[in-house]
Amino acid sequence: MKFVVSVLLMILLSFLACLYLPWWSIAVVSFVIPLVIIQKPFMAFLAGFVALFLLWGGLTLLISTANNHLLAHKISMLVIKADAPLLLITVTAFIGGVVAAFSALSGSLFRRLF
Amino acid sequence: MRVVFFFLSLLITLALVVCLGSSILLPLPLGSFLSPQHGIWQNAEPVKQSFDTRLNFPGLKSKSTVYLDDRLVPHIVADHDEDAYFLQGYLHARFRLWQMEFQTYAAAGRVSEIVGEKAVNYDRGKRRLGMVYAAENMLKEMEADPISKVQIDNYTAGVNAYITSLPESRLPVEYKLLGYRPEKWNNLKTALFVKQMAQTLSGFSDDLPLTKLRSFFDDAALRVLFPQVADSLDPVIPPGTVFAPPSVIPVAPPHADSVYINDLPGTLQEAEKPDPANGSNNWAVSGSRTRSGAPILCNDPHLELSFPSIWYEMQMTTPTMNAYGVSFPGAPGVIIGFNDSIAFGFTNSGRDVMDYYRIQFKDKTKTQYWFDSAWKKSELRIEAIKVKDKPVVYDTVAYTVFGPVMYDESFPSSAEPGAALALRWKAHDPSNELLLWYHLDRADNYEDYIHALQYFSSPAQNIVFASKSGDIAIWQQGIFPALWNRQGVYIMPGEDSSYMWQGFIPADENPHTLNPERGFVSSANQRPADSSYPYFIPGYYDLYRGIAINRRLKEMYDVTPDDMMKLQNDNYNMFAETVIPVLLRNINESALQENEKKYLDLVKGWSFYNNIDQRGATIFSIWYENLKKQVWDDEFEKAGVPGLRPSDQTLAEALLRDTAFTYIDNINTPGHETISDVITEAYKQTVAVADSLSAINKLTWGGYKNTSVYHLLGNTVMPFARTGLPVGGGAHIINAMKQSHGPSWRMVIELTQETNAYVIYPGGQSGNPGSPYYDAYIDKWAAGEYYKAWFLKRGEQEGDRLVWKMEFGGRE
């Protein structure tokens, strides 16, 4: 339950934060949530990853589908040297996930210091 | 232990954020770049988006509307001119912000700020050319003129209204790729854009290479190798036209012929020069030759094609004008197009308006130079070139009575210091070209057109005109120096004022024609007039396109817009028709192996059309290039000039005239080569290339040419380009589409009661690679097809092709 709530909160707050703040505000959100909803470090790590993987993956999938993947075709060739929009979306989701995962882990470990 | 784990985890997190948010480790800051709410995903526009908006700007005088049609062409309907220019600026920025800013950075020599060290030499070249100096001179003129002032102030305000409202997340993709932000637009940037066009179209000069060549050839030889008038010239102004005697007669200094400046050591190095193929076709056919009885005007400007296109199509309607056509993102007004009464188009004049003078500085400070028997003070301009991630590079450019000292001991290279050379360039002089378009966009008749022309001084153009009242005309317009015979062919001495330009040709003596008997006017960058024109007019002139156009137009009656579209896409190679008989007459077939002859048959059987499926076109093209090398390289390499050769037509006409042409012989061999030897040798070299092309299925003209449109950032963003387009044509051909250089806009305007306009350009209205409108026109353009322009009439705003509506509120 805690896990699901953490994930949902991270998704919601990251989305809201990114409306106004730079992209790395996802790290701040993922750091703060485990301070409030206490979880084991590994679970926090997982929650961070799942939350941002879902948020970034979901958002880009929606955006790119509406775009017929026009831009994703071009950017994927540029960035990952392969004409693979879905792979670019996965990479995007993974980047969001990894940053959030380590940040959530840090938050959780920080909480355990006290 | 817990503390260690925490800090370890925190460190990893911070490292991730720093690495993904910057370009320290990765070529791109992938975190911000791919963030769905900040990065490039924000540029992935929904394919089915609506462009309907309602916005308020205090900069607008009153309520105005922009209707967007199904091709995303905006039709501005405003009650005030001021608002129309504001909205034009807003739309340019909305759809083309990155390119307009990038091009003005390039003009000002500021590319290093964006891409770093590798552009420093490019930037120095622009600074030394005096691009900003030229733009500043233009800015003063524009701001002093009440009409232009209103135009540019409102245009700038419109661009900035968009930039100010632009959140970081919606920055064009290129900013995100290169990691910078747009700065505010200003009036100087518009001037810089105009000067960038001036350089593209009139920034040519061969004074340096010709001077260098003169130490190898003599002047008499160079007159043959670089002739002023081609044998087969079909000029813009019909031959036989009588020109009035010149009213300005420049006087050559007594020693002008014997003065020779020879201090260009080593192999000649020059700053980057524009492509001499920057040219165009335009023509107008009078009602006597058309089916409708109304004039038809056509234009296709040839430039290096790019994404985003240099052109942005639009219509502007106010109580004082109703103009449709293409505009330059970066400048106000409609540049090529038509209005309710007239149509107008441009080709480049190619006239040489750039001369070099050798400067004798007193010392290394460059503060004084010898001029008319005294030391004259120069003005030093310190150029600070900001470089991304590196310290500022400083360069000092001395300004003389002629203009900036472009070349000196430190430029283009300090390894082989040459003489100090000052540049006299027409584009430096104060002028206000925007007024030409202000008046053309509003012109009703020939008199209005003539009135508009007076404002145009550089880069000189052949401006074609047709009106609904039935007139057709063409003027070569610009301000040209009145030169004595052969003035400025070579570098001139800079210590004597008698070598300066002594005056300018009065505008009414510029070549022109109104309603000529032949029933059409045309230009294709050829010499404007035959040798009976009373001034010395050196330039960069094409030959065969003009001959081809005139030959076709002469035989055309009952002309329809459809005929004109076909003519713009005509792939007939007039040059090949001229040269191939010489090649076939002189090739020594007995010296060829059996397997070498197969390609010869392709040339013999070729129809002279450079269509994409033709292999003969490819063989001929390679063959002629090899022949040029055979004939010229021995002498020109010895002379230390890598970048200049006599033109295609000069060699062709020389071979037609004289099969024993002196330069056929290879001076590096003991024997004496004949025309047959070099043509055969050039053919044999062609066979080897053709074999390898054939092996990869690229021997057809389309496969060999590989017509492509690149993004302005070139091969760093190849996915943004379109390559392998099925387009024929090429150099010297009416359809002047070379590999990536060619018709950047095609238009055919029939001036019947209801104007019928057929238009297209290789690109699309949106500069965003993530928009379906980015390359929307390209396939249709490649196929030689056109769109019928929707020419909105005031009061008829509800046509079914008007899909979206942008409503703008203002102060009232």
Which position has the token pair 């300090």? Answer: B414
Rounded to the nearest 5 degrees, what angle is found at the Cα of B315, between the Cα atoms of B312 and B321? 130
pLDDT digits over B431-457, tens only? 999 999 999 999 999 999 999 999 999
pLDDT digits over B271-323, tens only? 888 887 788 999 999 999 999 999 999 999 999 999 999 999 999 999 999 99
Residues of B in contact with A53 (CB under 8 A): none
SS3 B519: coil
Phi and psi dihedrals of B193, rounded to 5? -60, -45
Task: Supply the pLDDT for residue B796.
Answer: 73
B574-705: CATH architecture: Orthogonal Bundle (1.10)
Residues of B in contact with A24 (CB under 8 A): 17, 21, 31
Across chain B, what does the average pLDDT equal? 95
Q: Indicate whether B675 pLDDT > 80.
A: yes
Q: How far is A7 from chain B (nearest CA, A)?
A: 18
Helix, strand, coil % (nearest 5) of chain B?
A: 35, 20, 45
Residues of A in contact with B719 (CB under 8 A): 73-75, 77-78
Q: What is the share, in percent, of chain B residues with pLDDT greater than 70? A: 99
Task: Supply the pLDDT for residue B185.
Answer: 98
For range B556-569, the mean pLDDT:
98
Task: Supply the pLDDT for residue B363.
Answer: 92
DSSP B246: P
Q: What is the share, in percent, of chain A residues with pLDDT greater than 70? A: 100
Contact criterion met (CB < 8 Å) for A92 and B41: yes
Interchain contact B47–A (C-beta under 8 A):
yes
Q: d(Cα B221, Cα B233) in Å, to the nearest integer?
A: 21
Interchain contact A52–B (C-beta under 8 A):
no
User: B266 or B221: whose pLDDT is higher?
Assistant: B221
For range B715-742, the mean pLDDT:
96
Tell me, rounded to whole angstroms, the distance of Cα B159 from its chain centroid. Answer: 24
Interchain contact B39–A (C-beta under 8 A):
yes
- Range in B222-226, B525-529, B794-798 with the lowest mean pLDDT: B794-798
CB burial of B599-617 (b: ≥16 within 10 Å; e: otherwise) equals bbebbeebebbbbbebbbb
For range A96-104, the mean pLDDT:
97
Task: Supply the pLDDT for residue B812.
Answer: 67
Cβ count within 10 A of residue B167: 8
Q: d(Cα B573, Cα B575) in Å, to the nearest integer?
A: 5
- Range in A85-94, B155-164, B572-581, B653-662 with the lowest mean pLDDT: B653-662
Q: d(Cα B753, Cα B198) in Å, to the nearest integer?
A: 36
Which of B13, B43, B47 is the closest to A106 by Cβ?
B13
Residues 156-185 of B with CB under 8 A from A: 173, 177
Tokens read off for B123:
């930037």
Residues of A in contact with B1 (CB under 8 A): none
Interchain contact B584–A (C-beta under 8 A):
no
Contact criterion met (CB < 8 Å) for A79 and B12: no
For range B223-246, the mean pLDDT:
94
Residue of B nearest to A103 (CA): B13
Task: Supply the pLDDT for residue B809.
Answer: 92
Contact criterion met (CB < 8 Å) for B2 and A112: yes
Task: Supply the pLDDT for residue B492.
Answer: 95
For range B146-163, the mean pLDDT:
98
Q: Indicate whether B798 pLDDT > 70.
A: no
Interchain contact A17–B (C-beta under 8 A):
no
pLDDT digits over B327-348, tens only? 999 999 999 999 999 999 999 9
For range B516-536, the mean pLDDT:
96
Interchain contact A46–B (C-beta under 8 A):
no
User: B328 or B259: whose pLDDT is higher?
Assistant: B328
Tokens read off for B400:
């003389």
Residue of A nearest to B718 (CA): A78
Q: d(Cα B404, Cα B389) in Å, to the nearest integer?
A: 29
Using CB atoms within 10 A of its CB, is residue B400 exposed (0-12), middle (13-18) or buried (19+)? buried
Name which of B679, B664, B661 is nearest B631 in CA terms. B664
pLDDT digits over B25-34, tens only? 888 999 999 9
Beta carbons of A49 and A103 less than 8 angstroms apart:
no
For range A53-78, the mean pLDDT:
97
Sequence-separated (6 or more) residues with CB below 8 Å from residue B38: A18, A22, A23, B32, B168, B169
Domain extents in chain A: 2-112
- Indicate left, alpha or beta for B90 from its phi (over 0: left) and psi (-120 to 50: alpha): alpha
Task: Supply the pLDDT for residue B284.
Answer: 98
Contact criterion met (CB < 8 Å) for A92 and B36: yes
Q: Indicate whether B263 pLDDT > 70.
A: yes
Task: Supply the pLDDT for residue B456.
Answer: 97
Q: Which of B26, B30, B33, B40 to mutate to test the interface with A (most CBs of A within 10 A)?
A: B40
Which of A19, A41, A95 is the closest to B37 by Cβ?
A19
Beta carbons of B491 and B356 less than 8 angstroms apart:
yes
For residue B352, CA distances in Å to B202, B205, B348, B499, B508 come to 7, 7, 11, 16, 19
For range B202-209, the mean pLDDT:
93
Q: Indicate whether B799 pLDDT > 70.
A: no
For range B208-235, the mean pLDDT:
94
